[in-house]
Chains A and B, each alone.
Chain A
Amino acid sequence: MESRSPSIAAIAVIGRYNNPLHISLFPATGPNYEQERDRLEYSFMVNSCLDIFEARMPAKTVGHDFGLLHAIDERIAMYGWLTNTCIKLVIVVDMEGRPATNAEAGKTAILGLRNNDLTPAFHAVQTAYIRLLRNPFYVPDEHNPKKAQGTGSLHIASPGFTKEIERIAKIWYPGITTL
Chain B
Amino acid sequence: MAAARQSLAPGDDDLQNPKISAAALDFLLIELVPLAQRITEQLHAREQTLQAEYNRSRAIASSVKPVPPDVPAKEENGSNTTLSAHAGAKTNGSVKGSVTGTVGDETATVTSLGFPAMSEETREGVFFRLDGLGYRVGQGLVERFSANKPRASTPLEAIKFICKDLWILVFRKQIDNLKTNHRGVFVLTDNRFQPLGRMSVDRRAGPRASEDALARAQSYLYFPCGLIRGALASLGVEATVEAVSSDIPTATFHIKTKGSKP
- Is B136's beta carbon under 8 Å from chain A? yes
Within the complex, the shortest CB–CB distance from B22 to chain A, in Å, comes to 19
Q: 1/0 per position for B7-36, CB-CB distance to A under 8 A?
A: 100000001000000000000000000000
B4 to chain A: which residues have CB within 8 Å? Answer: 167, 171, 178-179
Interface pair B146/A83, CB less than 8 Å apart = yes
Interface pair A62/B150, CB less than 8 Å apart = yes
Interface pair A85/B235, CB less than 8 Å apart = yes
- Is B142's beta carbon under 8 Å from chain A? yes
Interface pair B150/A61, CB less than 8 Å apart = yes
With an 8 Å Cβ cutoff, the count of chain B residues facing the other chain is: 21
Within the complex, the shortest CB–CB distance from B29 to chain A, in Å, comes to 17
- Is B56's beta carbon under 8 Å from chain A? no
Q: 1/0 per position for B172-200, CB-CB distance to A under 8 A?
A: 00000000000000000000000000000
- Is B67's beta carbon under 8 Å from chain A? no
Interface pair B144/A84, CB less than 8 Å apart = no
Interface pair A171/B143, CB less than 8 Å apart = no
Interface pair A84/B146, CB less than 8 Å apart = yes
Q: Which of B123-160 contact A (CB under 8 A)?
A: 136, 139-140, 142-144, 146-147, 149-153
Q: When chains A and B are docked, how far (Å) is the Cα of A16 from the Cα of B236?
A: 8
Known contacts A85-B142, A178-B1; A126 and B236 CB within 8 A of each other:
no
Q: When chains A and B are docked, how far (Å) is the Cα of A16 from the Cα of B234?
A: 9
Q: When chains A and B are docked, how far (Å) is the Cα of A140 from the Cα of B141?
A: 12
- Is A71's beta carbon under 8 Å from chain B? no
- Is B205's beta carbon under 8 Å from chain A? no
Interface pair A83/B3, CB less than 8 Å apart = no
Q: When chains A and B are docked, how far (Å) is the Cα of A16 from the Cα of B146?
A: 15
A110 to chain B: which residues have CB within 8 Å? Answer: none
- CB closest chain-B residue, reference A167: B7
Q: Which of A41-83 contact B (CB under 8 A)?
A: 61-62, 64, 82-83
- Is A129's beta carbon under 8 Å from chain B? yes
B15 to chain A: which residues have CB within 8 Å? Answer: 127, 130-131
Interface pair A134/B144, CB less than 8 Å apart = yes
A179 to chain B: which residues have CB within 8 Å? Answer: 4
B234 to chain A: which residues have CB within 8 Å? Answer: 85, 140
Q: 1/0 per position for A20-50, CB-CB distance to B under 8 A?
A: 0000000000000000000000000000000
Q: When chains A and B are docked, how far (Å) is the Cα of A178 from the Cα of B236?
A: 30
- Is A157's beta carbon under 8 Å from chain B? no
Most buried by A among B143, B147, B150: B143
Known contacts A61-B151, A84-B149, A130-B143; A139 and B3 CB within 8 A of each other:
no
- CB closest chain-A residue, reference B140: A133
B3 to chain A: which residues have CB within 8 Å? Answer: 167, 171
Q: Which of A131-166 contact B (CB under 8 A)?
A: 131, 133-134, 139-140, 164
Within the complex, the shortest CB–CB distance from B162 to chain A, in Å, comes to 12
Within the complex, the shortest CB–CB distance from B98 to chain A, in Å, comes to 23
- CB closest chain-A residue, reference B151: A84
Interface pair A133/B144, CB less than 8 Å apart = yes
Q: When chains A and B are docked, how far (Å) is the Cα of A63 from the Cα of B88?
A: 44
Q: When chains A and B are docked, how far (Å) is the Cα of A103 from the Cα of B139?
A: 46
Q: When chains A and B are docked, how far (Å) is the Cα of A127 from the Cα of B13?
A: 12
19 more A-B contacts (CB under 8 A) besides A61-B150, A84-B147, A130-B147?
A62-B150, A82-B151, A83-B143, A83-B146, A84-B146, A84-B152, A85-B142, A85-B235, A85-B236, A126-B147, A130-B143, A131-B15, A133-B139, A134-B140, A167-B3, A167-B4, A171-B3, A178-B1, A179-B4
Q: Which 7 A-B pairs have the closest CB atoms?
A: A84-B146, A133-B140, A85-B234, A133-B143, A84-B151, A130-B144, A140-B139
A-B contact pairs, 23 of them (CB 8 A): A61-B151, A62-B151, A64-B151, A83-B146, A84-B146, A84-B149, A84-B150, A84-B235, A85-B142, A85-B235, A85-B236, A127-B15, A130-B15, A130-B143, A130-B144, A130-B147, A131-B15, A140-B136, A164-B7, A167-B7, A171-B3, A171-B4, A178-B4
